[in-house]
Amino acid sequence: MSEEKSLNFLEEIVEEDIATGKNRGRVLTRFPPEPNGYLHIGHAKSICLNFGLALKYGGKTNLRFDDTNPSKEETEYVDSIKADVKWLGFDWANELYASDYFDQLYEFAVTLIKKGLAYVDDSTAEEIAAQKGTPTEPGTPNQYRSRSVEENLGLFADMKAGKYPDGAKVLRAKVDLAAPNMHLRDPLMYRIKHTHHHRTGDKWCIYPMYDFAHGQSDAIEEITHSICTLEFIPHRDLYNWFIEQLEIFPSKQYEFARLNLNYTVMSKRKLLQLVEEKYVEDWDDPRMPTISGLRRRGYTPASIRDFCDRIGVAKRENMIDVSLLEFCIREDLNKTAWRRMAVLDPIKMIITNYPEGQTETMFSENNPEVEGGEGGRELPFSNELWIEREDFMEEPPKKFFRLGVGLMARLKSAYIVKCDSFVKDADGNVTEIYCTHIPESKSGNDTSGIHVKGTIHWISVPHAKTAEVRLYDRLFQVENPSNEDGDFKEYLNPNSLQIIPKAYIEADLADAISGKGYQFIRKGYFTLDKHSTAEKLVFNRTVTLKDGWVKKG
RNA sequence: UGCCUGAUAGUAUAAUGGUAGUACGACGGUUUUUGGUACCGUUUGUCUAGGUUCGAAUCCUGGUCGGGCAACCA
């Protein structure tokens, strides 16, 4: 659209590569999740980046599961990840698995052993850690480092054959025990794990480490731009070292700053904890920052893509305000959501000059943002209406444009009413308010000449249907729960879910379409929950409307 | 007290030696049968100290502050 829009640093790199003829202009990226949890909004940023870059420059993107640690990975996660990427609107060129390359990776390891660049080490994890030294002191070699090629070959074959228990031996790269970059101090390539793998079953009992799988997988697929997050910067030297020694396709790694969103947590470990310890219903709880949670909450793929586009890409740590995410979904839904009325906290209004038992049909358009309103629906009107409790005040302040004794307001798509009186119960709670309507003020046919500033929503009492409505607030009460003292769960917002068991809704909403957003006029955007049934409708509030009204005493 | 990174309004992001701009937020106004939307306006910024230059957010040097790195996790 705007040819002026500046490039982010990754686009600059790609354009530079294309301009210099690198890879003959070919662009192939990959999205490489580990199937050990559900995807979250942070992954969405990576997905939009990888797929978006390829799309923009005529390339392709592989979906590759980084499944090298069988003790944490499950097929359930694979399935959810595929569903989420698809839902976001992206198509991958190939569905691949690091585990597809286990044979090839094994051969790569043998190659390095033969070159004298890898050795089998019998040390314990603790010994190896100690021998690596510290950032300021070099590591010290042990006796295993000088094993012969033949011995290493035999030992590694035995490791693969299952002759040793977990932890007995590892295969290490022989790089540089004095390297200032700790990742180069003879990093582990393979460890023994007698664990069932979700795809390769029990075929393997040795599994490659990330550093000996990721770059090699990239090279096998001939990935041109391997994009990952900042914490992998120290791995880059090792990534390049393996590629160089193995003389395989030189994929290049580039790093960007991961997304941080305030008032939530973004690590899979913490999200898993919230699920397992039942602080939330499941991975797709509408309060979760997961893709599936956002979907159930009512976020659209377009709104998430727009969000990822707006936050930009750079290399500095960042903390994005959730208000931007909310802006994106409001912007989308405002254009697409059909308007409906729903009263969440009801109080009864009786129109004293409207005939009891009479019903009149009003009309209201579906979407005022669209030319023609996208059609509309009929609204039954009667002398008894449910209105929102907060739309009446016993002692209304100045500039209160709703109801109070003596005040007038319009009933959306119906008449202007004037409030005359109200009654309270023994506890002092207002129970009913009495109004008179202005017959000449009927919507679309108003000859009353009366102008009111406020318009309120309503539901005819005898025609009302009911639904359970769930209102969500931020999951945590502090901006960055992970940065606070103590357990992050201490900072959960106890009021993140408010259930309204019985809200009054338009009858029409009984036919609400799953996955579609509705605007409950003046209350926000809502969508059907996955547990909603014909007998018991359940709506989730996606987001409130922006509230420009500042209450003052 | 090692190595690697980074630092531009409240939050993000642009300006690639030549007018510090955009978005979100906040605030104010106009329109409105949603206190929504739309439209208009206001506000706030180059971490610091030097240097190079006609000219520095940008280049150089020192400092300060943030993040990462010593998992048989990815």
Can you read off the two tokens belonging to residue A497?
A: 């879910």
Q: How confident is the model at residue A141 (pLDDT cuts 50, 70, 90)?
A: very high
Q: Residue A146 has what pLDDT?
A: 97
> Among A62-71, A105-114, A479-488, A499-508, whose mean pLDDT is lowest?
A479-488
Average pLDDT over residues A399-406: 95
Quick check: A550 pLDDT over 80? no
Q: Is A70 left (phi over 0), alpha (psi -120 to 50) or beta?
A: alpha
Quick check: A3 pLDDT over 70? no
Contact A436/A442 with Cβ under 8 angstroms? no
**Window A158-197, strand B contacts by Cβ < 7 Å:** 166-170, 180-183, 188, 191-193
Q: A307-311 contacts: CB < 8 A, separation 24 or more?
A: A307/A41, A307/A44, A308/A44, A308/A45, A308/A47, A308/A48, A308/A49, A308/A52, A309/A48, A309/A52, A311/A45, A311/A259
pLDDT 10s digits, A281-334: 999 999 999 999 999 999 999 999 999 999 999 999 999 999 999 999 999 999
Question: Within a 10 A sphere around the Cβ of A429, how many other Cβ atoms?
Answer: 9
Three-state DSSP state, A225: strand
- Give CA–CA dist A116/A146, Å, rounded: 9
Sheet of A455-456, strand order: A455-456, A408-411, A416-424, A430-438, A346-351, A384-388, A458-460
- Give CA–CA dist A73/A197, Å, rounded: 8
Q: Residue A551 has what pLDDT?
A: 62
A370: CB within 7 A of chain B nucleic strand: no
The residues with which A365 forms a beta bridge, in sequence order, are A376
Q: Residue A2 has what pLDDT?
A: 38
- Give CA–CA dist A383/A356, Å, rounded: 6
Expressed in angstroms, the distance from the first to the final Cα of chain A is 47
* Of A382, A388, A349, residue with least CA distance to A460: A382
Quick check: A552 pLDDT over 70? no
- Residues of chain A above pLDDT 70, percent: 99
DSSP state of A261: B
The residues with which A253 forms a beta bridge, in sequence order, are A226
- Residues of chain A above pLDDT 90, percent: 96
A89: CB within 7 A of chain B nucleic strand: no
Q: Residue A474 has what pLDDT?
A: 96
- Give CA–CA dist A307/A328, Å, rounded: 6
Q: Is A160 one of the annotated active-site residues of the chain? A: no
DSSP state of A235: G
Contact A414/A376 with Cβ under 8 angstroms? no
**Window A400-439, strand B contacts by Cβ < 7 Å:** 400-402, 410, 412-413
Quick check: A6 pLDDT over 90? no
The residues with which A342 forms a beta bridge, in sequence order, are A505
pLDDT 10s digits, A529-541: 999 999 999 999 9
Return the H-helix or E-strand segment holding A539.
strand A538-543
Residue corresponding to tokens 């129109």: A351
pLDDT 10s digits, A40-70: 999 999 999 999 999 999 999 999 999 999 9
Which amino acid is it at A61? Answer: T
pLDDT 10s digits, A183-205: 999 999 999 999 999 999 999 99
pLDDT 10s digits, A328-363: 999 999 999 999 999 999 999 999 999 999 999 999
Phi and psi torsions of A89, nearest 5°: 105, 20
Q: Residue A74 has what pLDDT?
A: 96
**Window A491-550, strand B contacts by Cβ < 7 Å:** 519, 521-522, 545-550
Give per-residue burial for A28-41: e unless 16+ CB within 10 Å, then b. Answer: bbbbbbbbbbbbbb
- Give CA–CA dist A174/A114, Å, rounded: 12
Q: Is A317 one of the annotated active-site residues of the chain? A: no
A399: CB within 7 A of chain B nucleic strand: yes
Question: How far, in Å, is the CA of A453 from the C1' of nucleotide B33?
Answer: 9
- Give CA–CA dist A411/A443, Å, rounded: 9
Phi and psi torsions of A467, nearest 5°: -155, 155
Average pLDDT over residues A225-238: 97
Average pLDDT over residues A406-416: 98
DSSP state of A69: -
**Average model confidence (pLDDT) across chain A:** 96
**Which residue among A258, A389, A516, A530 is the active-site one?**
A258
Q: Which nucleotides of B are covered by protein (CB under 7 A)?
A: 1-8, 10-16, 23-28, 33-38, 66-74
Q: What is the pTM of this model?
A: 0.96
Q: Residue A546 has what pLDDT?
A: 95
Q: Residue A5 has what pLDDT?
A: 74
* Of A64, A62, A63, A75, residue with least CA distance to A36: A75
